[in-house]
Structure 1
Amino acid sequence: MQTVKSFLARHRQLFLTLLVAAAAVLTAAWAGFDLSQRVDGQPVYEIVNDEYSRTVTIPRAESGTDSATGLYQPVPIKAGQRIYGVRLNLTTHNWAFRTGTLFAQLLDDSGAVLAQGSLDCITIRDNTFADLIFDQPYTAPGQAYEEEAYDFSHPSATLRLWYTAGDGWDLDHLLGIWMSSDEGATVTRINASGTRETVRGTAAFQYVVNYSGSWSKLLSAVLGILTVGAVVAGFVLLTRGARLWQVVLACGGLLGLAFAVLTPPLVGPDEYTHLAKCYQQSSALLGQPLADENWNLMVRPCDAPWFGTQTGDIGIFAYKETFEHLGDHGCDGAATVSSAAPLTADSINNTLYLGQITGITLARLLGLGFHGMLLLGRLGNLIFYLALAALAVALAPKHLRGIFACVALLAQPLQLAGSLSADAAVLGYLFCFTALCLALRTRPARPAELVGVVVLAALIGPAKAIYLPAVLLILLIPKEHLAPRRSVAVCAKVLALVLAVVGWAKVNLGAALYAARDVDTVGLTRAGLALALAAAVLGFVYWKIRRDARKRNIFLGGLAAAIAVAVPVAFYKLTHMWGGLTPEQLVGSIQENGDSIYTYSAGYICRNLPNTIKLLLRSVSAQGAQWLQGVLGTALGEPIVYPIQVSWVLGVGFVLVLLAAALPKAGETLPLGRRTKAGCWAIVVCVIGLSFFTALNWTPINYTTLFGLQGRYWLPVLPLVLALIHHNRTFAVQKDAERGAAFAMLCLTSLVILQGAGLYAAWQMPS
């Protein structure tokens, strides 16, 4: 017994690793099995002839397929059409088969077999359509034309049907097919004896134009290997003392690749828009024409069909098409076809698309098809995000690295990184900037870090309008930590803020002016100048009387009274500036889709504060759960289009893991002071407030809830929120939980991927 205990103790790590691997493999295997049971073998039909009024007996052969026995139905096939099988309306004459096999062959003019399939007769039900799936799909020659109609007067192939009896077959029992009474069409029936006869009419049948087959197994295998690899690798790295940034880089890469495979084409958040921007910049790099005379984006011929819709399809057939065409190559790299996507007139912030543009350009140089190009673009985005996320974890203070690692491995950031979304780069920039600012509160900056904090501030400014307040984190860095010379530190902070504001104004000033389109700018400017002048005068007066206690008290009392009067007056002026919309304008603003042409603007909000507050309160109750899902990543793809939501249990798990990573260890020093924490909370509130204001600008005034607000907009400040929770003085843990939290995050994100595959693939499957 002692020997066994000693053996187990020596190999404890190995056994735990094997246990984790076994659990991960079993979970992935079960998810794959469950998916295959739901989506495999699903057909898509196209009606060829749906008129029938009588039945005709299908000839029975003695055995096999050697003879010419069968019912021969001439059939038309569209040019370029792929056929996976046929669906026939059969009759068993109120009899249940126990044995026998129904065969079908698709023959050309010379009698050569183009495709063939069989069906066990025991599955046939009386007066019910039954599927015969071919062993291999058949694709008709020629260019496909979807509008082409089936023409029985010019058949392009012949469908041969016959069946054979098995042991125990009742020889008096027959199998038939429903047919129309069309006198102008004929089918030929050759019996087992060789007797040939002609029958008037056309069989009732449909083509199986798509078939899911067993494609789910490939999807499950790819996702299973990636998720199992991430969980096992994470367990090994975390238990062997690897650094957290290494875990983010290795395991985040595997899970991000899984998301790149999991998300169907153009289903990622706003992916169509991001694709058009990246494609445009790629064409500029390659020296290709950007637009036609109508200012529509020029694309390669193989890419043109994908620029006709703004949202991709989901379901098992979307995965099937992706895997079938992922290896396409030899595509013409010249952009010679006009697409439905308009050319982006505004300047594109290329710093948000470095990875995507690189991947798409490389794919076009290699001649890859659309799906290969999309995957390389996603992988370029993923690599760029992982590099920034790992850098953020490495830069963060030691006691906060678990927070940044867990946020980086959260499902939502990895989903964004595994698509073409520009939000991945935004997250990377803000994660690095936040980590660096928090780290430099406790230690002096290296020269590279001094440059880095300025560069990151300059990148954040034009990234997205709502994140400009986050640049103020640079003010939390003590001057002596930023640079040895005080003047250099001050210049660095001023330069960072100026660059951020200039970049923000260059990209977002137009949108900001539009949001304030109905504000009394002249009145506000005058009020601002008057307020500034009054502040200067009051400051001068206070400076003169500051040493006289009696005069100072009188001054402060008068100032308080003036403020008490000025605030209601200012509030009244703001809520009554200009006249607003007339009833005629409100009625006439409703479009055919029911939306008003007017949206919430700064002036409308001020004039209608009660309605705005009501809308916000209704939005919190109606959409709050969706916002939380958007932060965590438990809502996949573009939630406005497809409500793909994984189990709420996983969402609860994510919240608990983030809180576990955020709680400090007992006895840990808290470097953030009260004023610093207040400033950080103010930054968070400003970012969230700006996100609400931006969503209001998208919301028609006749809506009762906000339009377009998503929780992922708050992800960039999530590490800062968790860092503030970490510096609480109420709750703590006895043992550091950052490594356990990181492993739990890997497991939860893997479960999101596995469950998401089932939700995506089984979406709107036929019953």
Structure 2
Amino acid sequence: MKQPVHDWIRAHRRLLAGAAVTLAAALCLAWVGYSLHHACKNVSQYEIVHDAYVEKQGLYPTDPAAGLTQVLRTEPGVTLYGVRLMFVTGGRVAQGSLTVQLLSGETLLATSVSDMTALLDGAFVDILFDRPVVMQQGQAYRLAITAAPAAPEDAVGLVYGEGAMADPALPLADALSPDQPGRTAALQYITNYTGTRFALKAFAPLAALVLLAVGGGWWLLFVKRAKAHWSFAYLAALLGLAFALVTPPLAGPDEYVHAAGAYALASQLTGQAGVESAYDENGVYRSQLAMRACDAPHMRAVSGEIGAIAYKEMADGLFSAGNSGALTAAVSVRAPYNVQPVQYLPQALGMLLARALGLGFYAMLLLGRLANLAVYVALAALAVRFAPAGKNIFFAVGLLPMCLALAGSLSADTAVLGLAFLLSALCLRGACEQRAMSLGAQACVLVLAALLAPAKAIYILLVGLCFFIRPENLGGRARSRAYKSLVCAAALGGWVLANGSTVAYMFRSVDVERLTLALAPLAVLAALAAMAWLRWRKSPAFRRGAVIGGAVLAAVLAAVAVWVAGNSGEALTPEEYAAGIQPNGESVYVFSAGYIISHLPQTFKLLANTLGRELPTYLQGLVGALPGEPIVYGLEISWTLTLGLLLVLLASCLRRQGQPPRLHGRGRWLLGGVCLGVTALMVLANVSWTPINSATVFGIQGRYLLPVLPLALLLLGECDTVCLKRDSSRGLRFCSAALAAATALESLVLFATA
């Protein structure tokens, strides 16, 4: 007897659902490919050669069959796909055919034949050759423009400039009277061209990656039922590679700065020429970076270009090989400020491999990105592996498009994310599990704290998570205190060395000498208090008095510090304030510790205004809905995807009904304090760079809170208001991957069509 159809469907429902999901992904990819094909075909890049002309002043050939000739300027190494010429047709639609030939001497290099009906009177028209031509040094190039009009009145000429508007080196002449040129045609070079099928060819590798991620992720999660960290590693690797291909060269957040830092470190590792850094006349920290000749034209001091041409240039140069490794060029770049070399080590090693193989700039950039991605995948997967509670949280946060976009770029923040996730997971493991913490885990926490604290100043409070670890898991209270003190000392030492100058700048307006004199008597009181404690510490009355006296002393200390900081010469006269306004409207004076304390109402107004205006933008930046450098490009992913990402994050922190709390009371206060402290430090750091006449805080981005996002979600999940009836871990994890893939595809469309 045959098995009923519904029984067969039930037995294979996971595979059928996976096939349906893969089919849906294929349909989405087909739609994206269709959109890219129509938006990116026949896109050209222009270079102005001659734009000094009188509009519609046209030179008509005496004989259309003989035509006109225009000499071209030779630009060695430039690929000429065609030219743009401005035609005049006497205000009518001309009929017939137009032929433009590119000649070197008498040698025909390329030809373009077009219908004269496409020529608009007084407008530039693209003339595309049948083959691209690379201009060579020492060769002379010219255009021969001829026409075959359908009727004598179908006259076609070229707009030109003459006299002072003509370029003697670029003469335009009638072929029958070449002795009196004195004119130069309105001319532009077409230096790049996407053609009709470029978008589909370039999109094919990304489409394959997305299909592998979606289909393979379904199989791992629902059929194979693989462990969380293996599924995460697979999905993060494929989707991170997708983001590495989607983000145009040097278009990631501050990627041009990180590219310079990684390149300089790569040179230093091999003992090659280093980098000379200094502040320029505008106060920008710049470097003269020695680099290979093949890299110099592409390295820049601003964010990279976006659009179809940017992808075309990357695709054309991706397989360049045989380049010299000698650092014969020097380029002025933006130097990274206060970034530790270890944060650039993966990217530098990837770049070194490309340089050793003689690969070009774009391949070097991609290898640097992939090395950065590999480190992130390893660290984040370990965090998912070791997290005793909230694996869904680490899984969902780790697959956020913002995390994957940073990992798929040269950003130094990638290492910070991975270190923060793993440190949080290990400390949570030591707090939630009732078993001894291995020596390897203890050493790992110590190393992570020592690396994370100096990497970015605001994240030093994450080191406080070590106090979350149970003392009995560290061998008792005495060993626990010693170990935690060692962790804090290692982190604090590196933090002071790396960020001491920054902190000093923030407190530049505080009168340190006056503060020292005001607090000096307190040192004597502290010494006397210590002596009294040693003498009468067993007396209950003395202990109560000591607590009260300590509280009073702390209050006096705080009051004195606030008073001194608030009266340290931060007041500006109206004349000083007016003189400090720059041409862009911003003041040269910025908030400092002293100014903040002495202008508390203004500071509170600034913070409230910032929160009211920028909160949606911060949420977009947190999940990765602002592709590339937000300040430069202004691209936005649809709010449908943004809300989907936020909902998945919220769902990932929910507990099942009846599941006990994951955190004890003291631990909740500690995690909350760490989250609030990091947020406060982030705001304070950005306020310190904000002009005093600004309406909002300058420089805050949602992605800065990614390292503490798992902790905030863990705290949110302790609320019992909303709970899950059953385990939905695999569905949530797949939704995280699917939304990240959809964000990558929409980012590609936004980048390509900008």
TM-score range, shorter chain: 0.7 to 0.9
Which whole-Å deviations, capped at 9, do the CAs of 1:60-114 have from their partners, x for residues lacking one? 8xxxxxxxx55242432322243222334445666657x865433222322x321
Paired AA for residue 8 in structure 1: I
Structure 2 letter corresponding to 1:239: F
1:455 aligns with 2:438: no
Q: CA deviation at 1:624?
A: 1.7
Distance in 1, matches of 2:58 and 2:298, equals: 45
Question: What residue identity is the alignment partner of 1:177?
Answer: G
Partner of 1:503: 494
Question: Once the two structures are superposed, what CA deviation does each residue of 1:657-682 show, in whole Å capped at 9, x if it has no partner?
Answer: 00111100111111312221011101
> Does 2:50 correspond to 1:56?
no
What corresponds to 1:406 in structure 2?
A: 396
**What is the match of residue 695 of structure 1?**
686
Q: Does structure 2 retain, via aligned residues, the 8 Å contact 1:58–1:177?
A: no
Alignment of 1:162 with 2:144, yes or no, is no
SS at match of 2:175: strand
- Given that 2:308 and 2:753 are in contact with CA atoms closer than 8 Å, whether structure 1 keeps it comes out as yes
Which residue is equivalent to 1:217? 200
Preserved CA contact (<8 Å) 2:265 2:345: no
- 1:151-550 matched pairs, under 5 angstroms: 156-163=141-148, 174=154, 176-178=156-158, 180=160, 186-188=173-175, 206-214=188-196, 215-240=198-223, 241-291=225-275, 296-341=288-333, 349-397=340-388, 399-443=389-433, 444=435, 445-483=437-475, 486-522=477-513, 524-525=515-516, 526-527=518-519, 529=523, 532=526, 546=540
Answer yes or no: is the 8 Å Cα contact 1:589–1:598 preserved in 2: yes
1:137 maps to 2:132: yes
AA in 1 matched with 2:414: A
Match of 2:570 in 1: 580
The 3 A distance-change label for structure 1 pair 331 and 94 is same
2:68 is the alignment partner of 1:78: no
Aligned residues of 1:88 and 1:129 also touching (Cα < 8 A):
yes
Query: Counterpart of 1:302 in 2: which secondary structure?
Result: coil
Tell me, in whole angstroms, the C-alpha distance in 1 between the residues paired with 2:550 and 2:447. 43
Contact 2:508–2:592, Cα closer than 8 Å, also in 1 = yes
1:707, distance to aligned residue in structure 2 (A): 1.0
8 A Cα contact 2:562 2:597, kept in partner: no
TM-score when normalising by structure 1: 0.86
User: Which residues of 2 match residues 608-619 of structure 1 at below 5 A?
Assistant: 608-619=599-610
- The answer to whether the Cα contact below 8 Å between 1:660 and 1:738 also exists between their aligned partners in 2 is no
Contact 1:188–1:198 (8 Å) recurs in 2: no
After superposing the two structures, state which structure 1 stretch, 353-362 or 224-233, moved more: 224-233
Q: 1:667 to 1:356 in 2, by over 3 A?
A: same
Secondary structure at the counterpart of residue 729 of structure 1: coil
Report if the CA contact (8 A) 1:44-1:209 is conserved.
Answer: yes
Deviation of 1:574 (Å): 5.2
1:54–1:179 Cα contact (<8 Å) kept: yes
Percent identical among aligned pairs is 36
Cα separation, partners in 2 of 1:101 and 1:249, compared to 1, 3 Å? farther
1:32 is matched with: 33
Instruction: After TM superposition, give the deviation of residue 486 of structure 1 in Å.
Output: 4.6
Task: Summarize the Cα distance change of 1:38–1:568 in structure 2 as closer, same or farther, 3 Å threshold.
Answer: same
Give SS of 2:133's match.
strand
Separation of aligned partners in 2, 1:504 and 1:290: 25
Q: Secondary structure at the match of 2:67?
A: strand
Distance 1:733 1:74, change over 3 A: same
The one-letter amino acid of 1:266's match is L
Shift of 1:534: 8.8
Distance 1:734 1:293, change over 3 A: closer
Secondary structure (helix, strand or coil) at the match of 1:646 reads coil
What displacement does 1:383 show? 0.4
- Residues 646-657 of structure 1: pairs in structure 2 closer than 5 A: 646-657=637-648
Residue type at the aligned position of 2:30: A
Residue of structure 2 in register with 1:87 after alignment: 84
Q: Per-residue deviation at 1:684?
A: 0.6
Which deviates more from structure 2 when the two are superposed, residues 256-265 or residues 214-223?
214-223
Q: For residues 595-614 of structure 1, what are the structure 2 equivalents within 5 Å?
A: 595-614=586-605
Which AA in structure 2 matches 1:579?
A: G
| Distance across 2 between alignment mates of 1:709 and 1:276 | 23
Q: Is the 8 A contact 1:58 1:163 kept in 2?
A: no
Distance 2:737 2:661 in 1: 28
Letter in 2 for 1:466: I
Deviations 1:470-529 (A, max 9, x none): 11111111111133x554333222211111111111111121122112224345455464
What is the SS of the residue equivalent to 2:125?
strand
In 2: Cα distance, 1:622 partner to 1:345 partner: 29
Alpha-carbon distance, 1:628 to partner: 1.4
Counterpart among 95, 104, 123 of residue 108 in structure 1: 104
- Structure 2 unmatched ranges of 5 or more: 164-170, 279-286
DSSP 3-state at the match of 2:301:
coil
* 1:618 CA displacement: 1.1
Secondary structure at the aligned position of 1:138 is classed as: strand
Structure 1 gaps of 5+ residues are 61-68, 144-153, 165-169, 190-195
2-structure distance, mates of 1:409, 1:204: 51
232 and 124 in structure 1: CA distance in 2 versus 1, 3 angstrom threshold:
same
For residues 348 and 731 of structure 2, the distance between their equivalents in structure 1, rounded to whole angstroms, comes to: 36
Partner SS, residue 24 of structure 2: helix
Tell me how far apart the structure 2 counterparts of residues 663 and 433 of structure 1 sit (CA, whole Å).
Answer: 22
Q: Measured at CA, do residues 688 and 565 of structure 1 come closer, stay the same or move farther in structure 2, by a change above 3 Å?
A: closer
C-alpha distance in structure 2 between counterparts of 1:563 and 1:345, whole Å? 39
Tell me how far 1:171 sits from its aligned partner: 5.7
Structure 1 counterpart of 2:26, one-letter code: V
Q: Structure 1 residues 185 and 360, CA, compared in 2 at 3 Å: closer, same or farther?
A: closer
Mapped to 2, the partners of 1:172 and 1:185 lie a distance apart of: 23
Deviates further, 13-22 or 408-417: 13-22
SS at match of 1:402: helix
Preserved contact between residue 74 and residue 187 of structure 1 (Cα < 8 Å): no
Do the aligned partners of 2:258 and 2:336 also contact (CA within 8 Å) in 1? no
Task: Give the CA deviation at 1:402.
Answer: 1.0
Secondary structure in structure 2 of the residue aligned to 1:734: coil
Query: What is aligned with 1:148?
Result: none
- Give per-residue Cα distances to partners, 1:544-585, cap 9 Å, x unaligned: 66379xx96xx6998799699959955872564333233144
Distance 1:123 1:538, change over 3 A: farther
Superposition CA RMSD, Å = 3.4
Question: Shift of the alpha carbon at 1:30?
Answer: 1.1
Bigger shift: residues 175-184 or 648-657: 175-184
8 Å Cα contact 1:88/1:130 also seen in 2: yes
Residues in 1 aligned to 2:212 and 2:484: alpha-carbon distance in whole angstroms = 43
Segment drifting more, 327-336 vs 613-622: 327-336
Secondary structure of 2:147's partner?
strand
Matched residue of 1:113: which SS?
Answer: strand
Letter in 2 for 1:743: F
Shift of 1:292: 6.6
Q: 1:343 to 1:665 in 2, by over 3 A?
A: closer
2:331 and 2:127 mapped to 1: Cα distance?
A: 39
Name the CA shift for 1:345/1:703 in 2 (closer, same or farther; >3 Å).
closer
C-alpha displacement of 1:414: 0.7
Single out whichever of 172-181 and 676-685 deviates more from structure 2.
172-181
